[in-house]
């Protein structure tokens, strides 16, 4: 493809794209899009909260487990608790 053909292709594409009617969303469609975006944001916030709570529970389980092992260690060494 040489420069003249490329220029003609660009001109043809420009004319074809201008001939396509622009479709605006209706108010109902816009409302649906806004609601869909809001629902997706709520899902993301919920997922983040679940992950945060799960990690917090895991950390507390580790703390309790380490404490239990330490207490068992002390009891096996003769300390009265």
Supply the pLDDT for residue 33: 95
Supply the pLDDT for residue 19: 76
Question: What is the DSSP code string of 34-75?
Answer: HHHHHHHHHHHHHHHHHHHHHHHHHHHHHHHHHHHHHHHHHH
Quote the tokens at residue 62: 């580790």
Quote the tokens at residue 7: 């220029």
Q: Is the pTM of this model over 0.75?
A: no
User: Per-residue pLDDT tens for 46-76?
Assistant: 999 999 999 999 999 999 999 999 999 999 9
Q: What are phi and psi of 79, to 5 degrees?
A: -80, 135
Quote the tokens at residue 52: 């945060």
């Amino acid at each position: 493809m040489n420069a003249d053909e490329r220029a003609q292709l660009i001109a043809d594409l420009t004319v074809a794209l201008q001939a396509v009617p622009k479709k605006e969303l209706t108010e109902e469609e816009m409302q649906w899009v806004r609601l869909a975006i809001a629902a997706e944001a709520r899902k993301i916030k919920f997922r983040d909260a679940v992950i945060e709570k799960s990690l917090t529970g895991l950390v507390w389980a580790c703390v309790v487990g380490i404490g239990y092992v330490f207490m068992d260690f002390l009891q096996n060494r003769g300390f009265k608790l």
